[in-house]
Structure 1
Amino acid sequence: MSSLRVLESDASLPQVRAAIADTFAGGQPVAPLPADPVTAPRVLAMLQPDEPVVEPDAAVIVSTSGSTGAPKGVVLSRAAIRASAEATHRRLGGPGRWLLALPTHYVAGFMVVARATVAETPVEEVGRDLAGLARAVAATDLPTYLSLVPTQLARALDQPELVTALQSVGAVLLGGAPARPTLLRRSRELGITVLTTYGMSETCGGCVYDGEPLSGVEVGVDEPDSDGVGRILLGGPVAFSGYRLQPNLTASTLLTEPRRANVPGPPPCSGPLTPDSRRLPTAGQFAGATPERRWVRTNDRGRLIGARLEVLGRFDDVIVSGGLKIDLAAVERTARDWPALGSGEIVMLGLPDREWGTRLVAFAETPSAGSVGADVTADLTALQDFLSGRVARHERPRELIMMPRLPRTSSGKVDRQRLLADAIAEQQR
């Protein structure tokens, strides 16, 4: 057992890198705190730093963003972090200079620093607004890598100097939220190398790039329906060790004793398939297994198309309105191509309704003056007209709320919990 070292929210990049190097050398596991004054006390209370860390080989405890619930402490081992970093570099063609544009208290930003530390290559902070990107790209002959969330990339595309800098980046890893097809298409047409990433804190961040798992990572779809859609399972050495002081939650999420599952063929793997690769895990049995046999039971729906994973949304993204089911994620994906959005975000949520039980409400960001979409009519009728023929009639939102900016967590994700709570409170006034 080890004691826990808390990294304060004002820790500098050199301090974070030194802490990672120290824990890899056998030092204390670390837990970075978020800078947000509201979130930080909640994360600290969840961590209970006076309690020992019981997971062997623990390197870091990262907190989940809390965008869909209370934050959890995800324990990542040295072996998992190293496996993730090395697999990422293999996919990208080798180590390079990493550029930091995300907070290090969440897994995406932390792994930027960890990859550089594992590979013993430079890492430089460029700011969440990418203000330091052009200088950083010009200052090195090494390949440069950058992790962003879609909102950052969308805003950067409206700034010619950032587009020029992004064209020189070896790879932009895009994750944290689904990316609109129009954003990906526009980026690639501009000559920017963008890789979409899928993963979570429990898998050391992204472990599936452009639908294909990294080397050593296995993907399965458990209990698929007639369309092949089921619960996504992610396996391999990148899997986490457990949730901080939550053994029951760990037992239901971290699965390591395989079983036969109703899966059409073996899960795809970019590395060699093992003799047991056709077998998927059963819940609650994880004691004594090796890290390579660990699987993470996600809350995401998806299907395998050949050797590629298509992520379709979360299991809690389905509401019932007027007796009919609505897949919020599917409607969101379609609505993201609405021209009035420009580079803004749109979110679909279900609000309590006396007549319908739950009614579908769209929350969208108002495009700034002069940006793409600013000259397009943005009202409920226009949105419904756009969705007509693209989604079923009952899947069109009954209300549209435009906002200058949707609330976000410090990791950059739309804070759906806060958005829903504020909307319900406003409705009850």
Structure 2
Amino acid sequence: MKLVPVADDDPRTVLRAVRQALHGAGPALGLGMPGSAPVDVPAGTAVVVTTSGSTGVPKSVVLSRNALTASVLATADRIGDGAWLLALPAGYVAGLQVLVRAIVAGREPAILSGVFSAQSFTAAALSMASSDGGAPVPTYTSLVPAQVTRLLDAAAEDTTVLRALRSFEAILVGGQALPAAVRERAVDAGVRIVRTYGSSETSGGCVYDGVPLRGVRLAVVGGEVRVAGPTLADGYLGRPDLTENAFVVDDDGTRWYRTGDDGLLEDGVLRIRGRLDNVIVSGGINISLDRVEQIVRTVAGLGNAVVVGVADERWGEASVVVVSREEFGARDEDAVLSAARTAVEATVGAHARPSRIVLVGALPTLASGKPDREALRLALRAPGG
């Protein structure tokens, strides 16, 4: 069958194309794909999502109708069914799945108009109120942590924003780790947050609050998290080498996706510790930048900071904390760095302490809302970085 690239900057265009692809009435659609020429894809394909991820290396993930539908039904099984608000880019798998959930539920999604802001989100959320047979229809949305932080900040000053946040039966939050302090703020505010874990290769979030969705299986092999189940992608378009490496079949015939994430399974609950490849070697010792980042974000002024690795003349590599000036405020840089270094040393060890703090106007982000770590690394390598 044919795959036709679709501009993913217009969610309504994506919605129409996804609806046709899911119902088998139209070609598969390609999101985030360069060029415009149709290409052949496996039968049953609904969408191909091309993402660059944090490394800048593009991958085109082939998602079938069955995988997307299985994910939607498992989500409804866990959190319930209702109306959905799209507040993420439609070309990002979490945004795409908002549209698919709405299609499967037979409801038109609400779509946030224009640039994301507390005001536009609030207007869209409060316009969703409806009833079915006299009973209120539950509402849902998906956000990334940076959006949650922005909305909670606004809600502290505006009760209308708080009312909008509280109106949702559940707000799925994924794309990156949700800082513990942000989650606590949401809970204290009465906002129902569900932390999700997954990727384009798993049709989006497949583990909610550490527990896999119905039909999803988890394993940790050599410290790496693996996922199995009906939500898995078929592989990578035109890259059999990448597909073979990422999707493996065990002796029992079960197909697993190798996530590349370092994690633990404790009493059936998954805990992610970071990326296995997001590691630097400083003074001959391996340091997980994700682990350092988790600790750094507990320090006041660094709640949304990003930790990246840079070359270091003495140690070979070192970690740097990058944070926006707006979040950092008027705090004393030396004092905050000292607090961050002390916290990291107490948890990981002196070898993992960050070397410095870099203040920027705004953290660069990918279309998904995740921090663009590759852009940060390149900027820090540049003269004066």
Shared fold per TM-score greater than 0.5: yes
Measure the CA separation in 1 of the matches of 2:58 and 2:162.
34
**One-letter code of the match for 1:354?**
E
> 1:307 offset after TM fit, Å?
0.8
Query: Which position in structure 2 is the counterpart of 1:258?
Result: 250
Cα contact 1:237–1:294 (8 A) shared by 2: no
CA distances 1:181-204 after superposition (whole Å, capped 9, x unpaired): 011011011100000000000001
**One-letter code of the match for 2:31?**
P
Matches within 5 A, 1:373-384: 374=329, 376-379=331-334, 380-384=337-341
Cα contact 1:171–1:195 (8 A) shared by 2: yes
Q: Give the match's secondary structure for 1:238.
A: coil
Query: Which position in structure 1 is the counterpart of 2:147?
Result: 152
CA shift in 2, pair 1:12/1:186, >3 Å: closer
Q: Give the match's secondary structure for 1:158.
A: helix
Bigger CA drift: 156-165 or 241-250? 156-165
> 1:320 offset after TM fit, Å?
1.1
> 1:386 offset after TM fit, Å?
4.6
CA shift in 2, pair 1:25/1:307, >3 Å: same
CA distances 1:80-117 after superposition (whole Å, capped 9, x unpaired): 00000000011012x21100100011101011001111
Q: Give the match's secondary structure for 2:153.
A: coil
> 1:335 offset after TM fit, Å?
0.6
Measure the CA separation in 1 of the matches of 2:46 and 2:235.
12
CA shift in 2, pair 1:345/1:366, >3 Å: same
**One-letter code of the match for 2:45?**
A
Measure the CA separation in 2 of the matches of 1:49 and 1:79.
25
Cα contact 1:350–1:361 (8 A) shared by 2: yes
1:326 correspondence with 2:287:
yes
Query: Which position in structure 2 is the counterpart of 1:84?
Result: 71
Q: Give the match's secondary structure for 2:357.
A: strand
Cα contact 1:340–1:375 (8 A) shared by 2: no
1:351 correspondence with 2:339:
no
Matches within 5 A, 1:18-97: 18-26=16-24, 27-33=26-32, 43-45=33-35, 49-53=37-41, 55-93=42-80, 95-97=81-83
Normalising to structure 1: TM-score of the pair? 0.82
Match among 309, 318, 332 for residue 270 of structure 2:
309
Query: Which position in structure 2 is the counterpart of 1:242?
Result: 235
Measure the CA separation in 1 of the matches of 2:93 and 2:285.
37
Matches within 5 A, 1:127-146: 127=113, 128-138=116-126, 139-140=129-130, 141-146=136-141
Measure the CA separation in 2 of the matches of 1:119 and 1:9.
22
Cα contact 2:333–2:357 (8 A) shared by 1: no
**One-letter code of the match for 1:72?**
K
> 1:10 offset after TM fit, Å?
4.0
> 1:136 offset after TM fit, Å?
3.6
1:175 correspondence with 2:174:
yes
Measure the CA separation in 2 of the matches of 1:367 and 1:382.
19
Cα contact 1:75–1:242 (8 A) shared by 2: yes
**One-letter code of the match for 1:103?**
P
CA shift in 2, pair 1:17/1:130, >3 Å: farther
CA distances 1:344-375 after superposition (whole Å, capped 9, x unpaired): 5212222112221112211122235xxxx635
Measure the CA separation in 1 of the matches of 2:233 and 2:8.
23
> 1:11 offset after TM fit, Å?
2.8
**One-letter code of the match for 1:419?**
L
What percentage of residue pairs aligned between the two structures are identical? 38
> 1:216 offset after TM fit, Å?
0.4
Q: Give the match's secondary structure for 1:132.
A: helix
CA shift in 2, pair 1:303/1:240, >3 Å: same
1:339 correspondence with 2:269:
no
1:17 correspondence with 2:15:
yes
CA shift in 2, pair 1:252/1:308, >3 Å: same
> 1:382 offset after TM fit, Å?
4.2
Cα contact 2:4–2:38 (8 A) shared by 1: no
Measure the CA separation in 1 of the matches of 2:306 and 2:143.
19
Q: Structure 1: where are the runs of 5+ without partners?
A: 34-42, 224-229, 260-278, 282-292
**One-letter code of the match for 1:231?**
E
Q: Give the match's secondary structure for 1:389.
A: helix
**One-letter code of the match for 1:209?**
Y
> 1:52 offset after TM fit, Å?
1.2
Normalising to structure 2: TM-score of the pair? 0.91
RMSD over aligned Cα, in angstroms? 1.9
> 1:254 offset after TM fit, Å?
1.6
Cα contact 2:297–2:305 (8 A) shared by 1: yes
CA distances 1:161-215 after superposition (whole Å, capped 9, x unpaired): 3222101111000000111101101101110000000000000100000000000
Measure the CA separation in 2 of the matches of 1:169 and 1:192.
8
CA shift in 2, pair 1:65/1:142, >3 Å: farther
CA distances 1:355-412 after superposition (whole Å, capped 9, x unpaired): 21112211122235xxxx6354333334324545243111111121111211111111
Measure the CA separation in 1 of the matches of 2:37 and 2:62.
13
Measure the CA separation in 1 of the matches of 2:173 and 2:85.
13
CA shift in 2, pair 1:126/1:12, >3 Å: closer
Measure the CA separation in 1 of the matches of 2:373 and 2:60.
20
CA distances 1:111-170 after superposition (whole Å, capped 9, x unpaired): 100111111123111253243333444332311101000000001001123222101111
Q: Give the match's secondary structure for 1:114.
A: helix
Measure the CA separation in 2 of the matches of 1:133 and 1:358.
41
CA shift in 2, pair 1:212/1:367, >3 Å: same
Query: Which position in structure 1 is the counterpart of 2:133?
Result: none
CA distances 1:251-279 after superposition (whole Å, capped 9, x unpaired): 11122x322xxxxxxxxxxxxxxxxxxx6
Measure the CA separation in 2 of the matches of 1:64 and 1:176.
12
